[in-house]
Structure formats: C-alpha cells, structure tokens
Amino acid sequence: ERMKRFRRHGQESQRERIKQELYGFNKTVEHGFPHQPSALGFSPSLQLLAIGTRSGAIKLYGGPGVEFMGLHDENAAVTQVHFLPHQVSGCSTHTLAAPYHMLHSHLGEHICTLNRIFLSATFNLFNFIPSFSLSLFLVPSISAPPSVTRVTAVLAHSSGDLLLLGTEGGHVFVVKVPGFRELEERNISLEKVTNGVPEEYGGRRSLEHVESLQENPVNPLQVLIGYGRGLMVIWDLDSQSAVKHIPATQQLESVWWMEDGGHVLSSHSDGSYCRWKVAGDDPQSEQEKSEVPYGHFPCKAISKIIHGGMPRASYGDRHCISVIHSKTHVALDFTSRIIDFFVIRDGPDHTGDPSALVVLVEEELVVIDLQTEGWPVIQTPYLVPLHCSAITCSHHVSAIPLKLWERVLSAGPWPMTGGQNLAPDPPQRDLLLTGHEDGTVRFWDASGVCLYPMYKLSTAGVFLTDSDPNDNLNQGTEGEWPPFRKVGCFDPYSDDPRLGIQKIHLCKYSGYLTVAGTAGQILVLELNDEAAEQTVEATVADLLQGQEGFRWKGHTRLEVREEPVTFPPGFQPFALVQCQPPAVVTALTLHSEWKLVTFGTSHGFGLYDYQQKNNVLVRCTLNPSDQLAMEGPLSRVKSIKKSLRQSFRRIRRSRVSLRKHHVNNAAKLQQANARLEAELAEMELAPVQRKIEPRSPDDSFTGLVRTLYFADTFLSDSSHNTPSLWAGTNGGSVFAYQLRLPPVERRGEDPVTAHPAKEIQLMHRAPVVGILVLDGHGSPLPEPLEVAHDLARSPDMQGSHSLLVISEEQFKVFTLPKVSAKMKLKLTAIDGSRVRRVGVAWFGSTRTDDYGESGLTVLTNQGDLHVVSLPGVKLQVQYPCIRREDVSGIASCVFTKHGQGFYLISPSEFERFSLSARCVVEPRSLVEVSSQTPSTTLPRAPPDGASVERRYTHSV
C-alpha cells in the first residue's frame, strides 16, 4: 500500500512538471484602437507616439512591433501627454532608468510622470506587457480653489530642467524636474503680467485662463504665454519680466511660434488666424496679417492652428483639419471628434519640410502623406479601428499556406520608426477574420504583435439593402467650397443591420470561404485573382418544413440583386443559401473536401451541396413551445435603430454651435447610440442568459442550433467508416446523419444523400456547445484536406472511435458506434460555472519540440479559462481572465489552434492571451536614448534630447 502511494505521488509530481512545460497564462498584447482616447503626444527624436485614454491608460508606439503600455491605478482621464528630455537618474544590473520622462496630466488636477521606463532583459512587469513605473506629483498647493489651479497648459522646456504649468486662474507655475520642486521665486503670477499690460488694452480686463505656453524656437529663455481673452505675453525667464505684449482681442484658441523665431501665429474662436511680428525691440508687437480661411461668415473656432474654421451655418457638425500649402487647400473631414494632431517633419533636427500629418480622432488614428501628390491616407500597421463597423463575430485560422497568404496580402509605408522590434519572426502565418455589422469581413495578419489589415471583403453588393445612396453627405464634389475631403473609415450609421456577419468559416487549403448573416443568408465564396461579373442565385432552405402554428414576426430577408454584379479580385460569392424564416445564423461549418456547407438557426439546420448548388438536408428542430424563436432579435429594435439612423441624418444637416470648452452634443448622441447597441447585444444574448435558469423541455429556444460538425467515423458498425454530420441544440439534443457521397468521377452529377443515424438527448438538457470525434489514438480528427496536404497524420481507423459531447454543464465521452457513455467531467456541479466557448488546441512542450498534447481550451461564464485534457477529459489548469460582468467580452472570445485567444476589451480593442507556455506572441522592443546633463543656463537641447549613447531593452 505504501509503495502504491509513493508511485502515485511520483506520477503526480511528474505530471505537474509536464503541465508547467505545456501551460502558462499570459495576457500578451492589446490589438486595435484605444477606447476613448483623450490625449496625444509625439517625440520627434525617439519617433515614439503616445496616446492617453479616459480610463487612465497610456500607450506608446514606435515602429511596427514596438509597443509599451502603462495603466494608472486610479480610473482618471489623461488630458495631456508630453515627452521630457531628462538625465539618467540611476542604474543597476537588472533595471535601467531611461533618460526620458513622459509627462501627462489627469483631468488637469495634478501632474503624473512616468519617471522610469523599466527596460530590462531579466525583469518582467504586468504579465509580460511592457509597463511603466508611475510616480505621482501634485501641483504646488496655493491658497486658491481647485478650479483656479486646474492645469490648462503645459510646457516641457527644451533644457530638460523646467516644467511650466499654466492654470485656469491665469498663473504659471515653474517646476524643477526631475524632482518636481516648485521654484516659487520664478512663478509667473497674473499680477506680474497685468502690471505691464498697456492701458489701451481694455483697461487691464480679466485675462482668463492660460490657453497656451510656447517656447521661442531660437531663444529658449523666452516663453510666450497666451491667455484665453486673447492677450499674449513674451516672458523672459532670465530677467523674469515681460519683454513683449501681443494685443489680440479675440478669444484665443492656440498659438504657434514659427521656426524663425520672428513671427507668431495665433488662432481664434471666430475662425480667424493672425500672424504677428515679434522680432525687434518694440515692446508691443504688430499684427502683420489676419485671415479667415473660409470667408467672413460666422465660423467655428480654430482650436489648433491650421484646424477648423468651418462656417457655422452649413458645417457646424463637421470635424475638420484644413491643410493649406501654396495653392493647394484641403479641408480634411473626419467622421469623429478631433482630439489632437501633429506634423512629422524631415531633416536632422526635425524642422524641415512636413512629411506626414498624424491626427488622433475619437474613433481612429489617421495619417496623411504630405509628400505624395493628392495627400493620400497611409495604411496604419497598428491602432487600426477594428470597429469602423461594429464587430459581430471573429474566426481564427492558424498556419496559413504561403500561396493563400500571398493572394490576400497588401502593404503600405509608415512614418513612425521609433525603437527596434526584437521579437523573432513568427513561426507561422496566422489570420484573424472579423465579421462586421455592415456585411464586411476583414482579414488581419495576426502572426505577430501588430494586427495588420490585409484585405476587406464586402457582401453588401449581392443584396438590395435599406441604405440610401444619398446618405453620405460628406462626399465632396468638384469645385465645392470649402474643399471637403472625407478621410477615415469609422462610419457606424450607414448600414442595413440585416447584413451583419454572424459566422465565418475559411478553409485555408482550398481557399473556400463561407459567411453567414443576421437575416439567414449563407454565402459561399472562392478566391479569384481577377474581377468577375456574375449573378448569385439564392437557394431557399425552408427550416419550418411546413409545420403549422408558426408565424415569423422578425425582419424580412434581404433581396438578392437580379442583375449581374461586378466583384473585385479576391473572394467572390458564387453560391447563396437563404434560410426561411430569415433568422440569425447561429452555427456554420464548411467541408471543402466534400464540397458541403452546413448551417443552423433557432429553427433548425440544413446541409448544402455547393458544387451542385442544392440542398441535401433540411431539418426543423423547433419545439411547439418555441414561439419566442419566431420573433427574431432585430424585430424588437429595427424600428428604433431606423429612427435613430434618420435622426443622425437630420442632425448632420442641422446647425450646431459648440465651443471647445463646452459639452459636445455629438458625444451625447454617440453615448445614446452606444447604449442602443448594448441593448441590441443584450437582446441577441438573451437566449444565452436564459440557459442559466433551470431547464425543461418547454423552454424557449430549445431548437436553436449551437454547433455543427463533420466527421468521417463509425456510425452503423465498427468496421465501416462513413462521412457524417452532427448537430447539437440548445435543448441538449444531438442529431447524427450518415452521408453518402458519390465517387469523385460522378460527384458533379449524382446526388449527395443524408440519412438519420443517431439521436442523443442529454438528461440535463443543457445546450450542446461542442461536438468532437476522437480517433483510435484518442486524437481529434484532422481538418478537411489537412492530411492531403501532409500537415497532419491520417486518423487511426483501426481502434474504436469516441464521441465527445460538450454541453454548457459537462464534458461527456461516448463510444462509437454504440453511443454508450464512457466517461464524463462535470463542470457546473463543481463550481457552478457554464461553458461559453470551447476550442481544440495543440500544446507543445517548452522543454522539447518532440512532445505535445491536444487539449480543449474552455471559457466559462465566470470569465475563467480552463484546459481539459484529451482523451481523458481531466481539468489541467484554470486561470481567471475576463470579468464575469463583461458579457460582451466573454461572447466575443475566439481560440486559436495553438493555445492562444482573442476577446474584445472594448468595441475597438482585442486583448490577446496565451494558455500555452511555448506559443506566446508579445512585444519585445529596444529603444535607444541618451544621457543629458542639466544646466542652469538653459541651453537649447536637440528636440527631445536626441542622439544615441545607451541602449535599453525590454525583453520578455
């Protein structure tokens, strides 16, 4: 007995060692566009872009693959981001303090600095995500209310010594860095400034808040202070006195000190900008030139020079940046609110000709190439707005063959080059496909840190839709004034919601793709390198099968265009199945070797032969009590969505008068739309939520098809394997059909047939979320064509096969062909959680390339991740991943074949994670910076303190 116990203990400890070599949980990188961005910063010398968000996150981006992220403990908005040149403050063998500070302000109440960027080869932070150490410094306290000391303007002085903070009360505080010590004797009080204001300037009226702080580009001892009321003062930091006054009388919006140091540009709330000569000894500067770019109409404020100035009467709701160069004049028209922008310049000191305009708007980052004629938009390798139309589903495909990869690949230049990407080349090519509400499918290169856009497919051209071709009011016409040009791709209001993509399945070996939508449409597409004009004919699949007593109350089906449609090169539709009733497609699987597609809805499932373009099988799964399944989720919200869309069109045409510092009505409307989308998501998820309640055969949605699966296995006897189709429903039913395929030479003429073979009813009636057949070795059956392409071994057909049925509550293994229970793993009974997502993955060992195991990756409604072993169905590891309240995040999760996964942490961002100890995709970056020695004489440093002396790496 003692010997047995010792042997068992030894086996357990060996198993624990193997588990450590196979499994390990890491959140590795965030893909997409930061949710609710609120601040933008740029370092020309480091070529690093910084974005702050309303939730307190700061993200840094350099060249593709160079990414860093920091997150504040408190959930406070970042309102400004600035890079500070700084000296090395300390150094050890394991952590290196980089000589760059990054400064940002929180809601203007206090100042934070990222005072050490830990970049180390041996030190990992925040679950392997490159991170920052955050230090908090409060604004110097004075006996004034917080509203008066709120920071409204920041100047990081080029010397690296000083930080100037302008406040709402008009005071400017001077702070010594890096210690963040207030230099009280050097503060620029409102009293000091007003004492020197000329009498003729409105009787020294209130100057209001500090709107702008600018440093003289040729004399760092001079700083320009711009006040909200319009007055600008040039202050000498050495003599601590005003040397010049610029007596503008219009409300000030922004200031730009031109490179020659002799002129200042100011922009104002009436849509005008002025040029002032500031060189010379005259204490009062003269206005040289005043312009209103769009005529002398009432105009929107130019909130940053070269920005805005739209005539209010017609264009009050536009979000524009006007770019004027010689006789070329363009008003770049964005689809969401502008947060900030900057210009990237050529030359050794980054003061040469502009090369690119980088604009951060609320929903995307847009980069304009200013060196190419026509000023085209540059495709971004990161920060791509995944949500340009709302994401409705995702599908991941691993190890894409090179031939298919090259047929969908596209590329473009990128002006941000900071840092070096030290990550090794990806071991394989991976695709992430996202389906969207507007009927598009977008292909993303998911091999590395950057989720790079490769290709976009649109299915809308097949159908006649609700969209009004005149909806897009932003399209400019020849000779129009102002010369609008729509830029950016965020456009959530122009779609027929029935087009929404709900399921995607791509066969990487054959190049066949099938997509299914909200109104019961299933398209089969194939790759074509040339454009083609063709008609797509619909085959109707009547899932009610003549049953009496059911009347569909939901949306109508999409009408197919009768005339031929020209499809661009790429994936082109050649077959269409239309479910009747046109309910949301809930399950979809493609078998390209057999040329079959199977699909399911809340009413039943069907099997379609896309070679002969006919239905092989249609099966109704409705229970007599399933009346709710006849309503359709969109029927309850279609009218309100349509009225909202019409409201937005009216608002676009209406007169809106907004100032920069006042509440933005458009933001309120966006929030209202977001709430509506959330309600729609809840309605579509309602069937999932009902499943948590005690179940009975009379529950609604019992007939909803959750999973479909093809397998070549033993159904009738243990000596003859045949193709089969398996379907699992919300009511715990499993249906199996035996398929008969004609020989290859007769495949185009003889019909494919399907015959009922097995039917299983789980006693607990929990929804069936996965079906899997294991071969004689206990391995999952390979994918279609995988063996033919020598990428998987042939399944073992000598030993007996097993059937694994995964319900929301348990994993149950049956023998085949008898379908007798063999073993099971209860999940709900153990911890009360329910399975929401399941995938099959291969986990390779970190110790040797020769060893690995298949397993199930599982996500529960608690947001926990599990790995379940195959064929033994034993729990291996468990990790918390997603907040249990994050219903949409859990619903969006997609697993990869190698133990990684993606889920939405916001409408525009995927969080990537890994359950595999070996397969981890994460940023590995190197940033080169230099040491700076501060000086009391305030010499002018190169922009952001450039030049390379030391190297700091973050390697994980």
Query: Residue written as tokens 């003289």?
Result: 216
The rounded percent of the chain whose pLDDT value lies above 90 is 49
Taking alpha carbons only, the member of 545, 539, 519 closest to residue 619 is 545
- DSSP states of 616-637: EEEEE---TT-GGGGT-GGGGT
**C-alpha angle 215/278/170, rounded to 5°?**
55
Report in angstroms the alpha-carbon separations of 858 from 364, 827, 833, 875, 920: 33, 11, 11, 10, 18
Q: What angle do CA 447, 452, 456 make, to 5 degrees?
A: 115
**The pLDDT of residue 665 is above 70:** no
Cβ atoms of residues 68 and 132 within 8 Å: yes
Q: How confident is the model at residue 88 (pLDDT cuts 50, 70, 90)?
A: very low
pLDDT for 142: 44
pLDDT, mean of residues 582-587: 96
What pLDDT, on the 0 to 100 scale, is given for residue 470?
41
Q: Fill in the DSSP letter of residue 93.
A: S
Q: Report the Cα 872 to chain-centroid distance in Å.
A: 37
Question: Average pLDDT, stretch 109-116?
Answer: 30
More confident residue, 260 or 30: 30
What whole-number distance in Å separates Cα of residue 217 and Cα of residue 752?
Answer: 78
Question: In sequence order, what are the beta bridge partners of 730?
Answer: none
Phi/psi of residue 432, each to 5°? -115, 125
Burial 602-624 (b: 16+ CB within 10 A, else e): bbbbbbbbbebeebbbbbbbbbe
Average pLDDT across the chain, whole number: 80
pLDDT of residue 493: 66
Higher pLDDT, 829 or 864: 864
Overall size of the chain counted in residues: 956
Three-class SS state of 829? helix
pLDDT at 578: 98
pLDDT beyond 60 at 41: yes
pLDDT interval class at 628 (50, 70, 90): confident
Gap between the Cα atoms of 821 and 815, Å rounded: 7
Is residue 255 helix, strand or coil?
strand
Q: What is the mean pLDDT of residues 947-955?
A: 27
Question: Taken in order 637, 643, 646, 647, is the CA torsion positive or negative?
Answer: negative
Question: Which of 6-15, 251-260, 399-408, 946-955 has the lowest average pLDDT?
Answer: 946-955
Residue 23: what pLDDT? 97
Dig out the tokens for 182 from the structure.
């207030």
Does pTM top 0.75 for this prediction?
yes
Q: So what's the pLDDT on residue 130?
A: 30
Place 640 in a pLDDT band, splitting at 50, 70 and 90: very low
Measured CA distances, 669 to 528, 648, 663, 816 (Å):
42, 8, 12, 57
Residues facing 859 on adjacent strands:
837, 865
Strand-pair category, 263-268 with 273-277: antiparallel
Lowest mean pLDDT of 69-73, 670-674, 865-869, name the range.
670-674
Cα 874 vs. chain centroid, distance in angstroms?
34
Q: Evaluate if residue 438 carries a pLDDT over 60.
A: yes
* Highest-confidence segment of 68-82, 105-119, 253-267: 253-267
Quick one: pLDDT band at residue 581, thresholds 50, 70, 90?
Answer: very high
Q: Is the pLDDT of residue 936 over 50?
A: no
Q: Does the structure show a pLDDT above 50 at 432? A: yes
Query: What is the structure's pLDDT at 270?
Result: 82
Percent of the chain past pLDDT 70, that is, above it, reads: 75
Q: Which tokens hold the place of 311? A: 């005539």
Burial of 661 (0-12, 13-18, 19+ CB in 10 A): exposed
Contact 607, 625 (CB under 8 A): no
The answer to whether residues 900 and 921 touch, using CB atoms and an 8 Å cutoff, is yes
DSSP letter (8 states) at residue 16:
H
- The least confident of 102-116, 555-569, 722-736 is 102-116
Q: Which two tokens stand for residue 907?
A: 């409408």
Q: Using alpha carbons, list the distances in angstroms from residue 734 to 11, 738, 752, 755, 771.
A: 37, 13, 22, 15, 9
- What are the backbone angles phi and psi of residue 647, rounded to the nearest 5°? -60, -40
Predicted pLDDT at 688? 34
- 228 vs 312, more confident: 228
| CA-derived radius of gyration, the chain | 32
Which residue has 């580009």 as its token pair?
217
SS3 for 685?
helix
Using CA atoms in the order 772, 773, 779, 785, what is the torsion angle rounded to 10 degrees? Answer: -90
The yes-or-no verdict on residue 656 having pLDDT over 80 is no
Sheet holding 821-826, edge to edge: 768-774, 802-807, 810-815, 821-826
Backbone angles phi, psi at 186, to 5 degrees: -105, -5
Rounded Cα–Cα distance for residues 452 and 382 (Å): 6
CA-to-CA separations, 51 to 69, 126, 414, 684, in angstroms, rounded: 10, 19, 17, 34
Helix (H, G, I), strand (E, B) or coil at 648: helix
The two tokens of residue 136 are 């908090």
CA 234, CA 241: separation in Å to the nearest integer?
9
Measured CA to CA, the distance from residue 362 to residue 33 in angstroms comes to: 10
Strand partners of residue 445: 431, 452
**Band (118; pLDDT cuts 50, 70, 90):** very low
Gap between the Cα atoms of 553 and 118, Å rounded? 59
pLDDT of residue 519: 95
- Give the Cα separation of 212 and 256 in Å (integer): 9
Which pLDDT value is given to residue 643? 52
CA–CA distance from 870 to each of 243, 284, 456 (Å)?
Answer: 79, 82, 37
8 A C-beta contact, residue 488 and residue 476: no
Q: What is the mean pLDDT of residues 943-953?
A: 33
pLDDT at 349 over 60: yes
Task: List for the chain the helix, strand, coil content (%; round to 5).
Answer: 10, 40, 45
d(CA 99, CA 115): 9
Q: What is the pLDDT of residue 147?
A: 60
Split at pLDDT 50, 70, 90, the class of 465 is confident
Q: Is the pLDDT of residue 952 over 60?
A: no
- Taking the CA atoms of residue 342, residue 346, residue 347 and residue 348 in that order, the dihedral angle to the nearest 10 degrees is 60
Question: What is the per-residue pLDDT across 520-539, written as a single tens digit (0 to 9) for each?
Answer: 999 999 999 899 999 998 99
